[in-house]
Amino acid sequence: MWWLYREGVGFIKNNLNALKDNHDKIKVIFTSVLSKKMLLRNIGITDLEDYYFIIDKNNIYKLSNNKSIYPLVLYLSNGTIKKAEFQSPNTPNVMYSLEKHLSQ
């Protein structure tokens, strides 16, 4: 799964309403999903579409590097990537920064 469980899924669970309210500005895309049912259970929701979350069934967005297990946060401006950050043990504040961005 694109989102690392401890940080990524925890972030999603803690920010479900903010993510839903900002669905026009923030997209959550899951890649390498082995079980949609398990994903839903882990997040604690019954339908991804209620929150505008997307499963990348063809793994179009899956990265082919050793960081692909970590959540990736892309900041865009007019369709151009301005900043890209992986949440990993070496970059522990990525989700915190995104949470601050959501609350603005």
The pLDDT tens digits for 33-80 are 899 999 999 999 999 999 999 998 988 877 777 666 778 888 888 888
Give the percent of the chain with pLDDT over 90. 25
The pLDDT tens digits for 20-43 are 998 888 888 888 889 999 999 999
Please report, for the chain, the start and end positions of each structural domain, with discontinuous segments joined by +.
5-102
Question: Six-digit token pair at 30?
Answer: 């899951």
Bridge partners (DSSP) of residue 81 are 76
Residue pointed to by tokens 């940080």: 7
Helices (H), the chain: 10-14, 16-21, 36-43, 94-102
* AA identity, residue 23: H
Could you give phi then psi for residue 72, rounded to 5 degrees? Answer: -115, 130
Give the percent of the chain with pLDDT over 70. 90
Contact 71, 95 (CB under 8 A): yes
Whole-model pTM?
0.77
